[in-house]
Amino acid sequence: MDQPRRGIVIVVLALGLAGCGGVTTSAGASQAPASAAIASVSPSVSAGPSGPIPSTPTASGAGVSVNLTFTGTTPFKAIGSAGRCTPLAYGSNQTGLVFDANGGDYPGLGASFGVEVSDLPNIKWQVQGDTYYIGTSGLALSADHHTITLDVSLKGAVPAGAIAPGPEHVQGTIVCP
């Protein structure tokens, strides 16, 4: 192979590897792309041929059923049919589920509330500004991939130097069509 073609092959390989989605650290450990961190608050999920691909979100009121009780420093109930469900699929197999809602869906909920139940389950509840809560355990997905059951103690998360909000707990179910 002559010199100009070798350069083209290297560029094509580099571009192809960049599209795969992961990052490898100097220690050799694989990390998810930055887009995966955003998945906790939106139905978007790390895209790529090797990861789950989100399906079209179910529109608000199209069969979603929410029954959640929040207790702690910001107590309230979110009961109704608002919010959006997005199935996560790998090929033709559904592998998880994402639900998201905001204060427009449930007054008192705050800026955003997102739950992802997949191989890396997580929940993020942003009450306002820099006040938000996170949790990773206490989430379960039904065998038919339509019901999320929550019994989660949430920890306050804030920027460095700020005072963390008090503890919160959320319990209940989200049923998606």
Residue 121 clears pLDDT 80, i.e. is over it: yes
Return phi, psi of residue 36, to 5°.
-70, -30
Residue 165: HSE in the Cβ half-sphere, 13 Å Cα cutoff: 21
Round to whole Å and give the CA distance between 40 and 21: 17
- The closest of 77, 72, 83, 100 to 166, measured between CA atoms, is 72
Round to whole Å and give the CA distance between 3 and 111: 55
Question: With bands split at pLDDT 50, 70 and 90, how would you rate the model's confidence at 166?
Answer: confident
More confident residue, 74 or 34: 74
SS3 content of the chain, % helix, strand, coil (to 5): 10, 45, 45
**Structure token pair of residue 170:** 């959320």
Round to whole Å and give the CA distance between 110 and 86: 21
Percent of the chain predicted with pLDDT > 90? 40
pLDDT digits (tens, 9 = 90+) for 3-52: 443 333 333 333 333 333 333 333 343 333 333 333 333 333 333 334 44
Round to whole Å and give the CA distance between 67 and 65: 7
pLDDT digits (tens, 9 = 90+) for 130-159: 788 999 889 999 999 999 999 999 988 877
Residue 79 clears pLDDT 70, i.e. is over it: yes
Residue 170 clears pLDDT 90, i.e. is over it: yes
CB 17 within 8 A of CB 50: no
Residue 110 clears pLDDT 80, i.e. is over it: yes
Range in 12-16, 101-105, 161-165 the model is least confident about: 12-16
